[in-house]
Amino acid sequence: MSRTNYNFLLRRAYEHFTASAAAISITALLFVSVNAEAASFGAAKPSVTILVPTVTIEVVG
């Protein structure tokens, strides 16, 4: 194997390694942030408020 071919393969392997490490890091960060969001969600109690406007009907006579 020639020297340049070896360097090319070594560089490609390094690129694959760094891309894999970055993908794993991003996945881990997303997992932690989603987990933190889910943990804080239970503290809030759901509530629904319905506002109905008051209507006055007058008889015109």
Q: Per-residue confidence of the chain (61 residues) as pLDDT tens digits?
A: 567 899 999 999 999 999 999 999 999 998 888 876 655 656 667 788 888 888 787 888 7
**Residue tagged 């090319």 (tokens):** 8
**Residue tagged 């996945």 (tokens):** 27
pTM above 0.75, yes or no: no
- DSSP secondary structure letter of residue 48: -
| Res 1: pLDDT | 58
Sequence spans of domains, the chain: 1-61
Residue 19, helix vs strand vs coil:
helix
Residue 12 and residue 10: Cα distance in Å, rounded? Answer: 5
Q: Which two tokens stand for residue 44?
A: 């809030």
Q: Which two tokens stand for residue 6?
A: 């070896």
| Res 4: pLDDT | 86
